[in-house]
């Protein structure tokens, strides 16, 4: 299935499920087209622990004016302008 260490495009298309299984196990492949490397297939970085929703519920209060436009002075400061 793999010649000279690089799966060629036709082989990758034909055996894509097998390559995905091997990538899931930690292997990485560089896929070649016309003898030139064009793509990489490998495992994704592992996700951390699943986050629990509502962890900070009740720990802080959002002000009533949270969605109001910012004052011109604050906008100018963010944009690097002086007033």
- Find, among 10, 29, 8, the residue nearest to 19 by Cα: 29
Q: Is residue 16 part of a domain?
A: yes
Q: Is residue 31 part of a domain?
A: yes
The per-residue pLDDT for range 20-73, each reduced to its tens digit, is 999 989 899 888 888 888 889 999 887 777 888 888 898 989 999 999 999 999
Q: Is residue 75 part of a domain?
A: no
Q: Which domain holds residue 22?
A: 9-41
Q: Is residue 74 part of a domain?
A: no
pTM: 0.45
Instruction: Give me the DSSP letters along 62-78.
Output: --TTTTSPPPHHHHHHH
pLDDT, position 71: 92
Q: Is residue 3 part of a domain?
A: no
Domains of the chain: total: 1
Q: Is residue 62 part of a domain?
A: no
Q: Is residue 72 part of a domain?
A: no
User: And the tokens for 24?
Assistant: 């899931």
Q: Is residue 82 part of a domain?
A: no
């Amino acid at each position: 299935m793999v010649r000279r260490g690089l799966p060629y495009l036709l082989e990758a298309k034909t055996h894509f499920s097998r390559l995905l299984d091997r990538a899931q196990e930690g292997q990485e492949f560089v896929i070649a087209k016309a003898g030139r490397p064009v793509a990489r297939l490998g495992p994704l970085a592992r996700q951390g622990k699943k986050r629990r929703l509502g962890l900070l519920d009740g720990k802080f209060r959002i002000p009533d004016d949270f969605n109001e436009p910012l004052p011109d002075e604050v906008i100018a400061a963010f944009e690097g302008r002086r007033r």
